[in-house]
Amino acid sequence: MKKFLNSPETLLAESLAGLAGAHADILKLGPDGRYVCRRQPVAGKVALISGGGAGHEPLHAGFVGLGMLDAACPGQVFTSPTPDQMLAAIAAVDGGAGVLFIVKNYAGDVMNFEMAAEMASEMTGEMTAAGSGPEILTVLTNDDVAVEESTWSSGRRGVAGTLVVEKLLGAAAEQGMGLADLKALGDRTNSLTRTMGVALSSCTVPAAGTPTFNLGEAEIEMGVGIHGEPGRRRQAFTSADAITDELLQAICDDLAAAGLEPGDILLFINGFGGTPLMELHLLYNSARHRLEQRGFRVQRSLVGSYVTSLEMAGASITVSLLDGQALRLWDSPVHTAALRWGC
């Protein structure tokens, strides 16, 4: 294992300190590195909080800032954050209009965010000036079409489509949308978003020191999860166009099964950490051509490594159906460590 680290035990803390230092104009690090939050809380706005295990950077801490998240709670690599982290984040960013959790569908994340919400609802003046805990609602993301059950989840996994949910909800919250309407928008966005990924190589968790799984030189894992969970099957390596065809077939079949017809979409090609941008743009070209042949209209695009799996070579394709409101929210200003436009 060759990685830039001093020790596996200090990797996350040192990385978060670096993130906060590099973006000190918009971010600050909470005590003991329990959360990353916006430099200044916004009074009267619903606070958006997400989080999950490290190793998927820039998700989630890289999406804290204007037009996206108010705080992110990072766990150790591929390990869920603990409820006390979410409680500390709530105390730091609650603006008095409620809190919305955005949670990927993994057992540990779901359990710990649920516990945090229950604990916050029972807390009194220690949490807020109003003397009671804030109202908290949750949006659960489960955009992965690869498998219905997985190593770490019951039901579909939340993967790269989580970025789309966080961007649209972040913009809507910035514009003053209330808590209940934000949850409804998040649930709707998730229901209109589908993702599937493929791995060309494994990844190595620093504390383990060995690859999470093994792939032969001529093998790929179709439908892999972002923690290296098994996908639909292991199969022979083939051309980029053939891989794109298989990913899009799964996505389009799933949209059709839900009664969703081709329309205006966001096309998001996401790298898993070890795939060059040259190859990601090649995948975008292949996917866009094939989607347009199916009647989809690509209105917005995103290409890059945003929801990663350490150094895994591979990528995912996300298709999210967009209406006029979603287009406007996607285009709204955002200023985070990883995404910035319009400001």
Is residue 86 classed as helix, strand or coil in its secondary structure?
A: helix
Instruction: Spell out the residues 6+ positions from residue 332 whose beta carbon is closer than 8 angstroms to its own.
Output: 67, 171, 174, 175, 342
Q: Which of 139, 168, 104 is nearest to 322 (CA)?
A: 168
Answer yes or no: are the C-beta atoms of 146 and 194 closer than 8 Å.
Answer: no
Residue 62 zone, left/alpha/beta (φ > 0; ψ -120 to 50; rest)? alpha
Q: In angstroms, rounded to a whole number, what is the distance separating the alpha carbons of residues 106 and 80? A: 9
HSE-up of residue 224 (Cα within 13 Å, Cβ side): 29
**Is residue 109 packed enough to be buried (19+ CB in 10 Å), middle (13-18) or exposed (0-12)?**
buried
Catalytic residue among 23, 56, 289, 335: 56
Q: Mark whether 56 is an active-site residue.
A: yes
Answer yes or no: are the C-beta atoms of 201 and 218 closer than 8 Å.
Answer: no
Beta-bridged to residue 336, according to DSSP, are 65
Catalytic residue among 227, 281, 289, 335: 227
Q: In angstroms, rounded to a whole number, what is the distance separating the alpha carbons of residues 322 and 328? A: 10
Catalytic (active-site) positions:
56, 227
